[in-house]
C-alpha cells in the first residue's frame, strides 16, 4: 500500500515530536513519509532524506523517510516564527498534490497555529478543514471527530456561537447529513449508516418553548430524509445523546455547532480522538489536539492521538 503523508504542521509546536514518536510506534505496520524541514524534527530522530515518495519504500523501519521542504526559519519550541508560516501552508498544498496524484494513500496533518499563519502569510482560512476544501476545488466538506467510542460531526464549525442560528440552514444540515452518510459508507465501510441528529436548543427546543428551529424545520428535514432512505434519529436533546446506551444506537452523531460536538468526544476519549475531513476526494486525518506550545520541546507530548490518526488514515485508505 502507498504510504501516508505526515505534514509537519507548526514547527514550534508538538507536531514534529508526536510524528516522530508515532513513526517509531507504527513503522513496522504502516508506511509513512514526513513532509517538512528536517531541521525541525526532534534532535536524534533517525531519518533519511528521500527525493520522492517511491524512494521511501524499504526504509520504513530503519529511519523516518523525510521528503524535505525547506522553511525560512528555525524552530524554537513554544515560539512560532512568522517566517515559517508560508512553509506550513505550502507543505499542506504539496501533500494534497501528492495524494491526488496517487503517490500516497492519505494525508495525516499535524496541528497548525492559525494566528501565526494569518499574521505571517495572510492565511485566509479558519482552519485546516476549510483550506483543504479550497485545495480540492471548493468541495463541500464536513469535520468529523472519531474514536472507538464516538463519531461526531458539527454542522457549523469555526464561527462564533452568536452566528450559529443564521448559518444553520436546511440546506447546510441536509448536505452535512449527506456527506456524513456517504463518508460512513465509503471510508468506514458501514453499508447502512445510522445517524443521530441533535437539536440546536436545550432539550431540542422542548416543543418550541426553548427555541423554534426544531419545530420550524429540523424535525421536518429529518422526516423528509428518512422517507428518502436515510436512517436518522432526531432532533434529539444534546445532553442525552452521548452516554453509552445512546451511543450504541447510532454510527455517528451530527451536532449543530462546534462545542456541542467536540466536548463529548474530548471528554470521552481525549487522547484517541481523530479529526477526519469527509467530502474530500482524498483521505485526511489529524490528531484531535493543538500545537501545545506550553509543552513543546519538553518530551511530554502524548503521541496517542497522532498514532490513532495515522492508523485511521491507513484503515480508511484500505476501505
Dist CA 262 CA 265 (whole Å) = 5
- The verdict on 18 and 131 lying in the same domain is yes
Mark whether 126 and 259 lie in a shared domain. no
Tell me which residue range forms the domain holding 66: 1-138+280-319
CATH number assigned to the domain comprising residue 285: 3.40.718.10
Model pTM?
A: 0.91
Q: What is the pLDDT of residue 295?
A: 95
Cβ atoms of 313 and 283 within 8 Å: the answer is yes
Spatial distance between the Cα atoms of 256 and 11, rounded to a whole number of angstroms: 33
58 and 172: one domain? no
Task: Give Cα 238 distance to the centre of its chain.
Answer: 22
Same domain, 184 and 256: yes
Q: Is 79 annotated as a binding residue?
A: no
The answer to the question of whether 129 is labelled as a binding residue is: yes
Q: Give the pLDDT of the chain (319 residues) as one tens digit per residue.
A: 799 999 999 999 999 999 999 999 999 999 999 999 999 999 999 999 999 988 887 776 789 999 999 999 899 999 999 999 999 999 999 999 999 999 999 999 999 999 999 999 999 998 888 999 999 999 999 999 999 999 999 999 888 999 999 999 999 999 999 999 999 999 999 999 999 999 999 999 999 999 999 999 999 999 999 999 999 999 999 999 999 999 999 999 999 999 999 999 999 998 899 999 999 999 999 998 899 999 999 999 999 999 999 999 999 988 7
Q: Which three cell numbers stand for residue 210?
A: 426553548
Pair 147, 218 in one domain: yes
Residues 92, 67: one domain? Answer: yes
- Cβ–Cβ < 8 Å for 60, 48: no
Regarding whether 286 and 212 lie in a shared domain, the answer is no
Assess whether 230 and 297 both reside in one domain.
no
Is the backbone of residue 181 left (phi > 0), alpha (psi -120 to 50) or beta? Answer: alpha
The reply, when asked if residue 243 is annotated as ligand binding, is no
Q: How many structural domains compose the chain? A: 2
Torsion of CA 182, 31, 96, 296, to 10 degrees: 100
* 134 and 85 share one domain: yes
pLDDT value at position 127? 85
205 and 304 part of one domain:
no
One domain, residues 96 and 168:
no
47 is in an annotated binding site: no
Same domain, 119 and 185: no
226: Cβ contacts below 8 Å, ≥ 6 apart: 232
Amino acid at each position: 500500500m502507498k504510504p501516508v503523508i505526515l505534514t509537519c504542521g507548526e514547527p514550534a509546536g508538538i507536531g514534529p515530536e508526536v510524528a516522530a514518536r508515532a513513526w517509531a510506534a507504527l513503522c513496522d505496520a504502516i508506511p509513512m513519509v514526513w513532509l517538512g524541514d528536517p531541521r525541525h524534527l526532534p534532535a536524534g530522530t533517525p531519518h533519511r532524506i528521500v527525493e520522492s515518495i517511491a524512494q521511501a519504500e524499504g526504509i520504513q523501519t530503519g529511519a523516518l523517510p523525510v521528503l524535505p521542504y525547506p522553511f525560512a526559519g528555525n524552530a524554537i519550541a513554544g515560539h512560532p516564527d512568522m517566517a515559517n508560516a508560508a512553509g506550513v501552508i505550502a507543505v499542506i498544498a504539496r501533500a494534497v498534490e501528492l495524494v491526488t496524484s496517487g503517490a500516497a494513500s492519505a494525508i495525516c496533518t499535524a496541528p497548525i497555529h492559525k494566528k501565526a499563519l494569518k499574521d505571517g502569510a495572510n492565511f485566509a482560512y479558519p482552519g485546516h478543514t476549510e483550506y483543504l476544501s479550497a485545495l480540492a476545488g471548493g468541495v463541500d466538506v464536513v469535520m468529523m471527530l472519531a474514536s472507538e467510542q464516538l463519531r461526531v460531526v458539527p454542522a457549523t464549525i469555526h464561527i462564533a456561537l452568536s452566528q450559529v442560528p443564521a448559518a444553520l440552514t436546511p440546506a447546510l444540515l441536509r448536505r452535512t447529513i449527506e456527506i456524513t452518510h456517504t463518508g460512513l459508507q465509503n471510508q468506514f465501510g458501514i453499508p447502512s449508516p445510522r445517524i443521530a441528529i441533535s437539536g440546536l436548543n436545550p432539550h431540542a427546543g422542548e416543543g418550541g418553548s426553548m427555541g423554534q428551529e426544531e419545530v420550524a424545520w429540523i424535525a421536518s428535514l429529518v422526516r423528509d430524509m428518512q422517507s428518502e432512505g436515510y436512517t436518522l434519529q432526531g432532533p434529539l436533546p444534546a445532553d442525552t445523546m452521548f452516554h453509552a446506551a445512546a451511543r450504541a444506537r447510532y454510527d455517528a452523531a451530527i451536532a449543530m455547532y462546534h462545542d456541542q460536538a467536540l466536548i463529548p468526544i474530548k471528554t470521552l476519549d481525549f487522547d484517541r480522538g481523530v479529526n477526519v475531513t469527509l467530502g474530500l476526494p482524498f483521505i485526511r486525518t489529524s490528531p484531535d489536539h493543538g500545537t501545545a506550545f506550553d509543552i513543546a520541546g519538553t518530551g511530554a507530548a502524548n503521541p496517542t492521538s497522532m498514532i490513532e490518526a495515522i492508523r485511521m488514515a491507513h484503515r480508511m485508505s484500505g476501505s
